[in-house]
Chains A and B, each alone.
Chain A
């Protein structure tokens, strides 16, 4: 079966750095997405990785290792507005998006 694992919840301090991990087992791989979802709102796109390595976008970076079936999202200089759920999703061999359950990130002052 297809499976994406993320921690259910994480807590971090304002101004700090946090790394949210995602491991996947899917039938094929055509890319990995990270989305942000604030409570009661729609998911919004953060990043897309299809090749191994680190993609940096301002305070957010995303890393991919296809051989390990592993990705992480790194958030630097955390702000209170970063409190949200972070969803990992993988394109499988049929270009269907398989979604993880999401990681709820709580930022404390």
Chain B
């Protein structure tokens, strides 16, 4: 099992360029998440998905879009990159909890994005 994988590992963009980050998981998890992590701050949720074909906004969704066309994949898009989007992006996945909530999240290795 590869767990959660992310591509690319590192990317440099110029302001205004677009890109897509890919997350894949082979654990048959229903829930998937995109976070960003910045120095001195906690992980912040960008968007999440509770199943194939569904997505929802998290804490900091502006400037990002997502799609979950297949259960195992969760894509994060930046349509017009800005320097404020320089960050480390983590994808995570989990089963739904027995209480209907979210279980332990498993993280991918991260994508380091620099926007100039």
Contact = CB atoms under 8 A, between A and B. Distances in A.
B107 interface: yes
Contacts, number: 48
Interface residues of B, number: 22
Given A87-B43, A101-B41, A45 B101 contact: no
Interface in B24-70: 40-45, 58-59
Q: Counting chain A CB atoms within 10 Å of each CB, which of B4, B40, B97, B107 scores highest? A: B107
A60 interface: no
A97 B41 contact: no
B41 A45 contact: no
B49 to A, nearest CB: 14
A89 B37 CA distance: 14
Interface string A87-100: 10101000111111
Query: Which applies to chain B's interface (DSSP): helix, strand, loop or mixed?
Result: loop
B102 A42 contact: no
Contacts of A87: 42-43
A30 B42 contact: no
Contact of B102 (A4, A91, A98): A91
Given A30-B99, A30-B101, A43-B90, A99 B106 contact: no
Interface of A: 4, 8, 30-31, 33, 41-45, 48, 87, 89, 91, 95-102
12 contacts: A30-B101, A33-B104, A41-B110, A42-B107, A43-B90, A45-B105, A87-B42, A89-B43, A96-B58, A96-B59, A97-B45, A101-B40
Interface of B: 4, 40-45, 58-59, 90, 97, 99-102, 104-110
